[in-house]
Amino acid sequence: MLRYEDITFLYLLAIIPLLVILFYLFLRWRNAAVEKIGSSQIVGKMMPMSSSFKLKLKFWIYSFSIASLILALANPQFGSKLEEVKREGIDIMIAIDLSNSMLAQDLPPNRLERAKQSISRMIDRLEGDRIGLVVFAGDAYVQLPITTDYSAAKLFLSTINTEIVPTQGTAIGKAIDLCIKSFDFKNGQSKSIIVITDGENHEDDAIEKAKEANKKGVIIHTIGMGSEEGGPIPLKNNRGQIKSYQKDNNGETVITKLNETMLKQIAASGNGSYIRANSTKSGLDALFNEINKMEKNKIDSKVFTDYKDRFQWLLGFSILLLLIEVILLERKNKWSNKIQLFEDEK
């Protein structure tokens, strides 16, 4: 299979027809100038070493050299073989809470950053599993559709922050529902949802949604981020420095605490496990062991592998043509001038 590393260079090939047009106009001007001097036979005798054939040949060599150089810049790549890859894995949707309470620092550096670090380490351990990301606060959104592209998953994960969700709250039920809709139930893969949240201020019936998921064969695990003692919610300035802490209507500092009871109920309804993260352990390691116990079905896919750069051949060909163009003289040489196949008999 052929592909180009940067196809934008291919637009430069438009130079070639432009050069052809300019060369054609040059030949017309040249012939017109010659006709002003005299007939072609007379001019030919006045300039016996001139060769219009070599002039045209040099032009085409030069044009092919430019075209070859442009193709080399685009860097053509060939896939050495078509390989069938068999993968075994499950489908995992991770729903991560982006409410402001996840900024509490009872889990250093804060709950959200600790969750992101843990998910990143989990992605590093996946082999063949497909993963997707849903973010939620007052509403839920798909951040990354389910995929086996782990690099893309980590890239999207790095962009997550509390500011990308416009509505605050903790709509765990909406997040579970959106995760269910993100699955392809026709592929026969085992499916799991991991909800990472502090569980505070739930705004919908998350337990019922967990039961619905369980009826469809989806296992729901929950990870509680935070502590029983809780912590204040920091408010930062434009420089990212903490300027104060969130207060309630009475002017008291809000202390956000882990709602462990709710998360245990969601996990139980979803036939999964609840794990509480603490200052030394994120909980994802233990959860990863639970995921590995799930049945992993085979996924067959075909991919092109071992793409190799081939620009070197085109670059070398371009240089070779340029050398030939430089060496090739426009005028006839002495040997070819002696050959007169169509000389008139006297």
Please check whether residues 243 and 210 belong to one and the same domain: yes
Q: What pLDDT is stored for residue 34 in this prediction?
A: 67
Please check whether residues 223 and 334 belong to one and the same domain: no
Whose tokens are 């600790």? That residue is 114
DSSP state at residue 283: S
Q: What pLDDT is stored for residue 201 in this prediction?
A: 58
Please check whether residues 125 and 43 belong to one and the same domain: no
CATH number at residue 195: 3.40.50.410
Query: Is 49's pLDDT higher than 60?
Result: no
Please check whether residues 112 and 160 belong to one and the same domain: yes
pLDDT in tens, 261-300: 999 999 999 999 999 887 555 556 677 777 777 777 666 5
- In this prediction, residue 45 has a pLDDT band, given cuts at 50, 70 and 90, of low
- In this prediction, residue 183 has a pLDDT band, given cuts at 50, 70 and 90, of very high
- 318-344: burial string, b at 16+ Cβ within 10 Å, e else: beebbeebeeeeeebeeeeeeeeeeee
> What's the total number of domains in the chain?
2
- In this prediction, residue 340 has a pLDDT band, given cuts at 50, 70 and 90, of very low
Please check whether residues 32 and 62 belong to one and the same domain: yes
Please check whether residues 120 and 51 belong to one and the same domain: no
Are the CB atoms for 169 and 137 separated by under 8 Å? yes
Q: What's this model's pTM, rounded to 2 decimal places?
A: 0.63
Average predicted confidence (pLDDT) for the chain: 82
Query: Is 255's pLDDT higher than 60?
Result: yes
Please check whether residues 43 and 95 belong to one and the same domain: no
Q: Is residue 226 part of a domain?
A: yes
Please check whether residues 107 and 227 belong to one and the same domain: yes
Are the CB atoms for 5 and 79 separated by under 8 Å? no
Please check whether residues 161 and 125 belong to one and the same domain: yes
Please check whether residues 130 and 186 belong to one and the same domain: yes
pLDDT in tens, 226-247: 888 889 999 877 777 788 888 9
pLDDT in tens, 209-231: 999 999 999 999 999 998 888 89
Are the CB atoms for 169 and 204 separated by under 8 Å? no
Please check whether residues 319 and 184 belong to one and the same domain: no
Domain range for 40: 2-75+310-338
Query: Is 38's pLDDT higher than 60?
Result: no
Report which of 146, 148, 80, 182 is spatially closest to residue 301, judged by C-alpha positions.
148
Q: Is residue 345 part of a domain?
A: no
Q: Is residue 34 part of a domain?
A: yes
pLDDT in tens, 74-127: 888 876 666 666 667 899 999 999 999 999 999 989 999 999 998 998 899 888
